[in-house]
Every structure is written in structure tokens, then in C-alpha cells.
Amino acid sequence: MLACSVMSRIALKSAREIEIMRRAGALVAETFRVLEPHVKPGVTLKELDRLAEEHIRKAGATPAYLGYGPRTNPFPGTICASVNEVICHGIPDSRQLQEGDIIGVDIGVLLNGYYGDACSTFAVGKVRPEVQGLVDATRASLNAALELVKPGARLGDIGHAIQSLAEGRGYSVVREYTGHGIGKRLHEEPTVLHHGARYTGLKLQPGMVFTIEPMINLGRPETRLLGDGWTVITADKSPSAQFEHTVAVTQKGCEILTL
């Protein structure tokens, strides 16, 4: 009954809608390519934010995160810039990147009424081997999950793939923050957990569009929300990495819209 109830709230996307979301996703991917050469020591998070906003608006789209959230505390940036122990929702401020940092850059756009959303973690110069291992494992966990997205698969299969790979390499999986459906709203049903058991959860159908965005920690999985109401860090201050794509379930498998 619960699965039926959730399914009734999922807006399956038409071919026309997916085409619009494909263009939104392409813009997200373009914005990453614009930012990547600037991710280097001495560059401020605000500068990365400015470059992203300029590119998104020049393309005729709107930054999805800028002003998102409660009226009393809207998110103040175009990108989420999450450095080192920041898991997600880092606010782009005057902080300068340093050699050895890692930074998770989360980008969302609204184009022609539909959203695109993705995240990538970048190394700033040369990072410690154990931190590079974390980044590599997080990327690999997302790729393992993407391989399973097809009609008839279940959301638990996705979570299990991520959890198995990450924990198998000695890392921990953040539980509190998840992937999500996406379309005319930035956050829709279903909720996509990054842990779970195989053969459980909602069955995937063509027309579903959602994000998969594992957040993996070098240390323990516990999180802490800072006083700004947005920034989430690891409770033990260990580094965290994140990768995310928006995917559409197709008749034959899946399409990565933000590739």
C-alpha cells in the first residue's frame, strides 16, 4: 500500500518533458566545464559562484538554488560549495581554496520550467592519498548505482550498490540527505536513499526522473547542521565527497541527463 501511495505522487515525464530536462541537464554539465579550470588554489568560492551564475543566466536559465528555501533564510548562492568536511549545502563565501582541499560543487538550473541538478567533487591540486581514495570511491559508487537503473529495478538496488561499494572500501554513507525526484519542482517524489537492501523499495518505471547523489565520508556517517541553517558537516570533521547525476528511466535502461 505504501509503494502504491508514493507511486501515485510521482509525475512520470513525457518524451517532450524529458527533452526539456535534457537541455537543462546539458546546461548543468556545461557549467561544470566552465568552472573546472578555475578550481585551483587562491580562488574564492564567491568567484566560482559568480562564474556559474553568469554562465547560467547567459544561457537563458535561472540558478535553481539562489533564493531557494524558507523566506526567512533563503539559500544565498548559485552553487553549493562544500569544502573538505562540508557534506552538502556549503555557502559560497570569501573562503579561498587551498592546495589539498576537495570541493563538492552542486549546480542546479531552471530552464523552460524544468530543473536540472548535479554535483561533482574536485581535488584542488594534489590531495592526500586517503582523500583521493574517498573521491574515487564516491564516484565509483554513483557509477555502480547508475548501471542498475532500468525498468523493473527497485530503489533498494540503487542504495545497496552504493552502500556495498562505499562500506566495502572502508568509508561511510550519509543517511540524512538523499536523492530525489525532479521535474517542474526541484524536489519531487521519490526519495532515493543511498543505502538499503536489494529487491526492496519502489519499482522503477519508464518516465521516472530522479537524482542519485551519494555523500560518502572518510570517517563516521554522523552529520551536523551549522548555525547558518544550510551548511552540513561531518560530525567528526572528516572529509566528505559527493557526486550526483539526474537520470531518466527509459524503456531500455536509463539516460543520464546531466552527463
The CATH number of whichever domain residue 203 belongs to comes to 3.90.230.10
C-alpha 192/C-alpha 166 separation (Å) is 16
Number of structural domains (the chain) is 1
On whether the CB atoms of residues 55 and 34 are closer than 8 A, the answer is yes
Residues 6+ positions from 165 with CB-CB distance below 8 Å: 137, 140, 141, 144
Residue 160, marked binder: no
Can you give the pLDDT at residue 5?
A: 56
- The residue among 38 and 5 whose pLDDT is bigger is 38
227-251 pLDDT, tens per residue? 999 999 999 999 999 999 999 999 9
Can you give the pLDDT at residue 123?
A: 98
Residue 30, marked binder: no
**Cβ atoms within 10 Å of 227's Cβ, excluding its own:** 6
C-alpha cell at position 236: 567528526
Residues 28-34: what's their mean pLDDT?
A: 98
Residue 89, marked binder: yes
C-alpha 204/C-alpha 154 separation (Å) is 6
Can you give the pLDDT at residue 229?
A: 98
**Cβ atoms within 10 Å of 16's Cβ, excluding its own:** 8
Residue 187, marked binder: yes
**Cβ atoms within 10 Å of 67's Cβ, excluding its own:** 13
Structural domain range at position 72: 2-256
pLDDT band at 3 (very low <50, low <70, confident <90, very high): low
pLDDT band at 127 (very low <50, low <70, confident <90, very high): very high
Residue 194, marked binder: no
Handedness of CA 196, 201, 203, 207 (dihedral sign): negative
